[in-house]
Amino acid sequence: QLQLQESGPGLVKPSETLSLTCTVSGGSVSRGSYYWTWIRQPPGKRLEWIGYKYYSGASNYNSYLKSRVTISVDTSENQFSLKLTSVTAADTAVYYCARMRGYDWYFDVWGRGTPVTVSS
Partner 1 sequence: EIVLTQSPATLSLSPGERATLSCRASQNVNTYLAWYQQKPGQGPRLLIYDASTRATGVPARFSGSGSGTDFTLTINSLEPEDFAVYYCQQRSDWLTFGGGTKVEIK
Residues lying near partner 1 in the complex (CB under 8 A) are found at 4, 46-49, 62, 96, 98, 104-108, 110-113
Minimum gap (Å) between residue 105 Cβ and partner 1: 4
Strand ranges inside the chain, DSSP E: 3-7, 11-12, 18-25, 34-41, 48-53, 59-61, 69-74, 79-84, 93-101, 107-110, 114-118
Q: How far is the CB of 28 from partner 1 (least distance, A)?
A: 19
CB closer to partner 1, 3 vs 15: 3
Q: Closest CB to partner 1 among 12 and 39? A: 39
The DSSP code for 14 is T
